[in-house]
Amino acid sequence: MRRRLWLGLAWLLLARAPGAAGTPSCPRRPRSYPHLEGDVRWRRLFSSTHFFLCVDPSGRVQGTRWRHSPDSIIEIRSIQVGVVALKAVHTGFYVAMNRRGHLYGSRVYTVHCRFRERIEENGFNTYASLRWRRRGRPMFLALDRRGTPRWGGRTHQHHLSTHFLPVLVS
């Protein structure tokens, strides 16, 4: 019993010893994730307001309740770590946000099409515009309770309308 106690005490002292990883004398090395860049996933983005994000053939971004809509299949392409581009597979439009926070479909990939993807504590993902901010706060991709896109300036990270669940395409 004493031996276990001494071993535990010695382990604690060694873990807090100078030069141990994560201590101020030996800072933790930054992590590198180059293998995540260029990753492509096909998903249906299901909003917590019970709509699937889709881009119709005219380039209009909206929500649909029909699970098997071909317009709702979204290609999530990783540009950098945590930065993605969302493209509707069937129509070929990228989801983009303009300066005023309105969502639209763009045929060409521009800086307006980049979103910061963040996994929230509840398991849902949020997508904030990388290019535009409103009063210093990020503007998020969101669908309201009718399935229409919300204006980015009125969205917050903790609003349920900004939370999306990436569902596998079957």
pLDDT tens sequence for the chain (170 residues): 555 666 666 656 655 555 555 555 656 666 666 655 678 889 999 999 999 999 999 999 999 999 888 989 999 999 988 999 999 999 999 999 999 999 999 999 999 999 999 999 988 999 999 998 888 889 999 999 999 998 888 888 888 899 999 999 97
Please give the model's pTM, rounded to 2 decimal places. Answer: 0.76
What is the biggest distance separating any 2 CA atoms in the chain, rounded to whole angstroms? 75
Give the residue from 69, 71, 77, 41 showing the smallest Cα distance to 54: 71
Residue 55 DSSP one-character state: E
Please, what are the domains in the chain? 35-168 (2.80.10.50)
Coil, strand or helix: which one is 167?
Answer: strand
